[in-house]
């Protein structure tokens, strides 16, 4: 997986990321999320996007990936999602 420098930090971010909205809205199980994100990390992806308004996405990602903190960059959006207001 191609990675690029993350701003002026010493971190590198994968050019592809995992969008967490679908797992929050689809009723995905923790087992499914663990398998999906584990495979993504093994393939070199290290950028995961989630937000409070993505259903239980943040909870599932937190439960299944807490042991992978060194391998991933988590983007957490803190804004109002207009489609649920």
Q: Where do the domains of the chain lie?
A: 14-84
* Catalytic annotation present for 76: no
Q: Which residue has the higher pLDDT, 85 or 64?
A: 64
Stretch (H or E) spanning 3: strand 3-5
Global confidence as pTM: 0.77
Catalytic-role residue among 40, 45, 54, 65:
54
Label residue 80 by pLDDT band (50, 70, 90): low
Q: What is the pLDDT of residues 19-78, one digit of tens each?
A: 998 998 898 999 999 999 999 999 999 999 988 888 889 899 999 988 888 888 877 777
Q: Is the pLDDT of residue 5 over 60?
A: yes
């Amino acid at each position: 997986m191609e990675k690029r420098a993350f701003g002026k930090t010493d971190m590198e971010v994968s050019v592809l990321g995992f969008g967490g909205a679908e797992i929050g809205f689809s009723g995905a199980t923790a087992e499914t999320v663990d398998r999906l994100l584990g495979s993504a990390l093994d393939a070199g992806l290290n950028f995961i996007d989630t937000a409070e308004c993505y259903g239980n996405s943040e909870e599932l990602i937190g439960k299944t990936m807490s042991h992978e903190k060194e391998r991933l960059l988590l983007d957490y959006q803190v804004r109002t999602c207009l489609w649920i207001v």
